Structure 1
Amino acid sequence: MKLICMLAITLALGGAASAADFPCGGATTSPFPALAPNDHDHGRYAPQAAGLRKTFTAYQSVFDDADDDDGDGRADLRFNPEYVAYELRGVGPNAAGDYPEPAISIQRPSRWYNSVEFAPLLAAVPGVTAKGLDESYAGVGSVWNRGHLAMSDHAQRISAEAACNTHQFWNASPQAQDLNQGPWRFLETYSAAAANKYRSVWIVTGPIFDPATPKLTIGDAGEAPVEIPDGFFKILLHEGPSGVETLAFIYEQPNALDAAGRPTPSAQWVNCNKAKSLHHRYDPKPQLVSIAQIELRTGLRFFVGRPDREHLTARAADHLWPVETRYWDAPSACAGQRGVP
């Protein structure tokens, strides 16, 4: 713990660190406080939602509880967040005018952290003996990632400890590997570049579950049945001279059982590692939607009580915010791609 504290001080003062310098540790629960003092306003544009609520240094989350998700009159659990919201602040330029990410790097935990708040949820499902949710994801990582909703690299802009604490299931849903490591990652790097340009952007993101599709889960006998989303939404907001500007996206994630009866994605995406060789260019524009469409598919309610709520939710953007190449960090860009079509 003394080493961790010394490293935290070094990082806060701007000292460089490699992944080996700041291990997140292999403890069952996080060795870092969930919420460290900071002035980020993560809940500024958070939607209205019911569930378990917790605020971390780098994000705020509402987690699905034993409500009636499918409308059959019985309590059920998805073991997913309802949403994650956070303020992402920009980094400043260096002497060359570039916007590199902070020299903070973490050694990610091999197992994600358990949360004591989930113990009653696990106990409520007959036959579940696992003490946490990491067991449900074990063995399926080549198909379903523990998909970050608040990106670890985004949290590193606050601190290494904050980045370690993105490895909480308050912040994860089963996400197809190539979606997570392809177009979703590109959108995350675009978000980081936008924060550099506009100083701050707010991000609200989460899973989508469609009632008409079969409920498929990961997790073996004795483990929590973690439901696989049918899609994901992400909303970006920034405050400009004319008011709040928004971009809303839905990335579909259709899934079905394969011949062996295992849940499998039924769509394909281009992974960042393959984009160059395939000459693939990422373009998030086809995923642009209105916030009203996200409300319809999630049950969340945005901008409640604001007189301009209807205007903010009804509009679907037809283009992305222009974010020039200089605001992108080249080493962290997906497939080296900077800028948007």
Structure 2
Amino acid sequence: MGKSLLRFRRGGRRFAVALLFVVVGGGLWEFQERRELQNVVWMGAPTWETLGPTSFYRVLRNDGYIVGWSDVRINPLWVSYQVRAVPDDTRIGSRPGFRPDWRTLWPVGTDSYSGSGYDRGHMAPNYAIAAVHGRSAQIDTFLMSNMSPQRPNLNRQLWQRLEESVMDHFAPRFEYLQVITGPVFPERFMDNVFNRVGLVEVPEAFYKIIVAPHADAPLALAFIMPQDVRGNEPLADYLVTIDEIEARTGLNFFPRLSPELETVLEGELNTQGWALEEVSKRPGRFR
């Protein structure tokens, strides 16, 4: 009886040490993860207004960008990356092939969208990430966890024009830009639960937030573009406030902003400093 008690106590101590190791190690990992996120997401990674099955996400870190991945919607809820101006003659590598991402709970194959009428729409764009962050980052943009179903007129025209404007027009005006982008789903989950391409839920629209993070007076542009566009509409037609995107997505962007700056940056629609009118009606590369 005494020996059994002694073995139990020794086993208990070993378990306690192992548990302490897991807790401390997990805490250090979480601290390092949060610190790393702060280095790549200006004013903090998005948080959820109300935590629930459709708002919870896991952070998937990639070379050049990060993803807030939903295992319920089988979609990125948000994708964050930073860009800066590059020389006009910048060349990138050949277009990589699409790849499944082993980190997603449900498998999304490279052919999951075949025959659906939807494109595999990049959230972190191929060209911008490749030009700024290099070949390895470009390859990571072809992970299926970076895709969301987009109608061709949106993906190949209006959305492409906005991505092109970010790199060719907005980035040269500022030191660097923080971009957060992602899908917009209907307010009621059950209204859209069966609207899927395979396992992937189909969004009703997409948002893009572009911030020039000046220390004294940050500037922001925000857009929501629906799936049913023709593709040749002016970009300015889809301007919204960041507050509107937060209301439509349930996400809280830039949570470390002061209340005073948040009111101005997220609540006001202000295009001053962006010269949006110069590119709003510019034709896209693919027509």
TM-score (norm 2): 0.73
- Deviation sequence 1:223-270 (CA, Å, 0-9, x none): xx21000110000000347411000100012xxxxxxxxxxxxx3423
Q: Displacement of 1:323 after TM fit?
A: 6.6
Larger radius of gyration: 2
Helix, strand or coil: the match of 2:42? coil
Aligned with residue 306 of structure 1, among 235, 257, 262: 257
How many angstroms apart in 2 are the aligned matches of 1:43 and 1:241?
A: 15
Aligned to 2:80: 85
How many angstroms apart in 1 are the aligned matches of 2:266 and 2:135?
A: 35
Residue 104 in 1 paired to residue 92 in 2?
Answer: yes
How many angstroms apart in 1 are the aligned matches of 2:256 and 2:229?
A: 40
Match for 2:226: what amino acid? E
Helix, strand or coil: the match of 1:78? coil
Q: Displacement of 1:59 after TM fit?
A: 0.7
Equivalent residues, number: 234
Aligned to 2:67: 61
How many angstroms apart in 2 are the aligned matches of 1:324 and 1:41?
A: 32
Provide runs of 4+ in structure 1 moved above 3 Å: 212-215
Residue 113 in 1 paired to residue 99 in 2?
Answer: yes
Helix, strand or coil: the match of 1:87? strand
The structure-2 alpha-carbon separation of the partners of 1:306 and 1:268, relative to structure 1 and needing over 3 Å to count, comes to: closer
What's the RMSD between the two structures over aligned residues?
2.8
Q: Displacement of 1:155 after TM fit?
A: 1.2
How many angstroms apart in 1 are the aligned matches of 2:166 and 2:91?
A: 19
Q: Displacement of 1:283 after TM fit?
A: 1.7
Match for 2:155: what amino acid? N
The structure-2 alpha-carbon separation of the partners of 1:283 and 1:48, relative to structure 1 and needing over 3 Å to count, comes to: same
How many angstroms apart in 2 are the aligned matches of 1:232 and 1:288?
A: 12
* Percent identity of paired positions between Structure 1 and Structure 2: 27
Aligned to 2:181: 205
Helix, strand or coil: the match of 2:208? strand
Helix, strand or coil: the match of 2:264? helix
Helix, strand or coil: the match of 2:160? helix
Whether the 8 Å CA contact 2:212–2:219 is kept in 1: the answer is: yes
Helix, strand or coil: the match of 2:265? helix
Aligned to 2:46: 47
How many angstroms apart in 1 are the aligned matches of 2:272 and 2:172?
A: 19
How many angstroms apart in 2 are the aligned matches of 1:91 and 1:210?
A: 37
How many angstroms apart in 2 are the aligned matches of 1:250 and 1:62?
A: 18
Q: Displacement of 1:178 after TM fit?
A: 1.2
TM-score (norm 1): 0.62
The range that moved more, 158-167 or 147-156, is: 158-167
Aligned to 1:132: 108
Aligned to 1:181: 156
Helix, strand or coil: the match of 1:167? coil
Helix, strand or coil: the match of 2:211? strand
The structure-2 alpha-carbon separation of the partners of 1:229 and 1:336, relative to structure 1 and needing over 3 Å to count, comes to: closer
Match for 2:253: what amino acid? F
Whether the 8 Å CA contact 1:302–1:309 is kept in 2: the answer is: no
Aligned to 1:126: none
- Deviation sequence 1:196-221 (CA, Å, 0-9, x none): 221311110000001344331112xx
Whether the 8 Å CA contact 1:113–1:168 is kept in 2: the answer is: yes
Which structure 2 residue ranges, 5 or more long, are not aligned? 1-37, 49-55
Q: Which has the higher helix share?
A: 2
Instruction: Give the 5 Å matches for 1:142-221.
Output: 143-157=117-131, 158-193=133-168, 194-212=170-188, 213-215=191-193, 216-219=195-198
Match for 1:214: what amino acid? N
